Amino acid sequence: MNLAYWIVAGLLALFYLYAGTLKVIRSRDELRPMMAWVDRMPLPAVRALGGVEILGATGLILPPLTGTAPWLASAAAIGFVLLQAGAIAVHLTGEDRRVTLNAGLTAAAAVTVWLATQW
């Protein structure tokens, strides 16, 4: 179980670290080709979402790695499940109805929650 957690959580953390960093440092015009929904959100909200993703990615890795407050890994994974539920809602209410990636990320985060509670 421990190896499975590190594989799934590591991949999830890499994805969210990358996506969050893009949201924090890139302009709306640079984000638009990848994320059509950014035009419907205020830029500070997009930046805050990026910061939350970076913090969540950190929460998946650092607590289990250091052994300090390992429950934070479960909390971060639950946060990603909720984040993706919101992302699916945003996609479905807009013109971009592609939610396959969001569904996959939701499933990966749910598996991470389960794996984090097994050790």
Model confidence at 103: pLDDT above 90? yes
Of 47, 40, 60, 41, nearest in space to 111 by CA: 60
Model confidence at 49: pLDDT above 80? yes
Model confidence at 1: pLDDT above 70? no
The mean pLDDT of the chain is: 94
Position 46 scores a pLDDT of 97
Of 24, 28, 50, 23, nearest in space to 39 by CA: 28
Q: Could you report the per-residue pLDDT of 56-97, keeping only the tens digit for each?
A: 999 999 999 999 998 999 999 999 999 999 999 999 998 777
